[in-house]
Amino acid sequence: MKLLVINGPNINFLGIREKTIYGSKDYNYLCNYIKQEAEKLQVDVDIVQSNIEGEIINFIQGSYGKYDGIIINPGAYTHYSIAIYDALLSVDIDIIEVHISNIHKREEFRRKSVTAPACKGQLCGFGFYGYIMAMMALIEAVNS
């Protein structure tokens, strides 16, 4: 199984920004954690990150025919990017949306995801472990 993890804006600043919300572990830690757990689950994983909406769309479109599933943390684009929503719908791949924090316990504007309806499901509030849960969910989806 081959998965693509797409991280959106500001995820690369983990460990620097809003430590009370996202913790003190940095982006490299997150990537290494995902790769280590993917190896245990016998999953090939590629991880990409961009602060640019169009690049995220290119990652999604580029996944077509190459990956069995996508895990996406669209960051702030979650709340308003119809373009990312459309790209997610276009690839016909199982997709899980992940958020490190519980977006439903935060500011009102963060509680609405325009991208989640294009996904198989959404995980939020489980910290970095949400990415691992998403991998397990995609393994289950592909094997069912």
74 DSSP 8-state letter:
-
Q: Is 67 left (phi over 0), alpha (psi -120 to 50) or beta?
A: beta
Name the catalytic one among 22, 67, 77, 131.
Answer: 22
104 is known as an active-site residue = no
Name the catalytic one among 67, 77, 85, 99.
Answer: 99
* Burial (Cβ within 10 Å: 0-12, 13-18, ≥19) of residue 42: exposed
Say how many residues make up the chain.
144
129 is known as an active-site residue = no
Q: Which residues are catalytic?
A: 22, 99
